[in-house]
Amino acid sequence: MFEVARYESERRAMLALTIVIAAAFYGTMFVAIAPSFTDLDLASLFAELPKQLTEGLGIESMNTLSGILAVELYQVGWLLVLGIYLAYNAASMIAGEIESGRIDSLLAAPVSRTRLAGEEFLSLLLPILAINAVTPIVLAVAASVLDQTLDPVNLVVLHALAVPYLLCCAAVGFVFSVFFTDESHARIAAVGTLVVTYLLETVFIGTDYEILGIVAPMNYIDPTAILVDGSYDLAGGAILLVAAVVLVLVGLVRFGRMDIG
């Protein structure tokens, strides 16, 4: 069982290793430069910026290691860049196979369509789990070596909640990969959806239109609240996980019924 998932996971092994190394290096860099931010008067520095921007990104807490990591590594790196990358990658899963013609040889195998597509999606667990398992260890070790304060429990909780968030982002791309037979269109739709929802969540926070943020996956995980305040939104993690499951099921049903000419 899970031969397709194993095969696709092996294909993604190098991708997983690359993003793990990049994330570890990027995070360690911020641990190293954190002391230079300690004496900054952030209230004066960002006084001219819109309130939505300072609150949306949580930059008012950047004079601590937890605040820097929350803003620079997690708000931008995890929620935006990594989320978009996984959605972009997932968007090519089915659409890419159809466009290349490889789907015919895959469907000739003695497995159902839904199992084939489901195992393709499961292969994304390797990079998602790898980066969320290795990065907190690297950051905790780097903080200890450089004598910086970083709560290990908050760090572990953040990465645990990042798993359903990233699965949800990948599921967005997966859905588009079965509703578009053109790979580039699927990728554009997936990336566009996450960029727009990210803007809805960050630009409209604290305004009369803040409610629009409920459609954004980023609305259900707040790295600053977790790392700086130790405030955990477990319900948000559950919502993201349910959303990912629903999106994947929609994709599987669509792929099971679609006409592949």
When pLDDT is averaged across residues 103-130 and rounded to a whole number, the result is 86
3-state DSSP call for residue 148? Answer: coil
Token representation of residue 15: 């991708």
Token representation of residue 99: 């466009």
- pLDDT tens sequence across 167-226: 999 999 999 999 988 899 999 999 999 999 988 888 777 777 788 889 999 999 999 999
Supply the pLDDT for residue 55: 62
Q: Is the separation of the CB atoms in 149 and 143 below 8 Å?
A: yes
Task: Identify the residue whose tokens are 């053109």.
Answer: 182
According to DSSP H, which parts of 42-182 are helical? 42-45, 51-57, 65-68, 83-90, 93-100, 103-107, 113-122, 125-145, 152-179
When pLDDT is averaged across residues 120-140 and rounded to a whole number, the result is 93
Supply the pLDDT for residue 40: 65
The 10 Å Cβ neighbour count of residue 122 is 16
Q: What are phi and psi of 69, to 5 degrees?
A: -65, -40
**What confidence tier does 15 reach under pLDDT thresholds 50, 70, 90?**
confident
* Residue 13, phi-psi category: left (phi > 0), alpha (psi -120 to 50), beta (remainder): alpha
Q: What percent of the chain has pLDDT over 90?
A: 46
**What confidence tier does 110 reach under pLDDT thresholds 50, 70, 90?**
confident
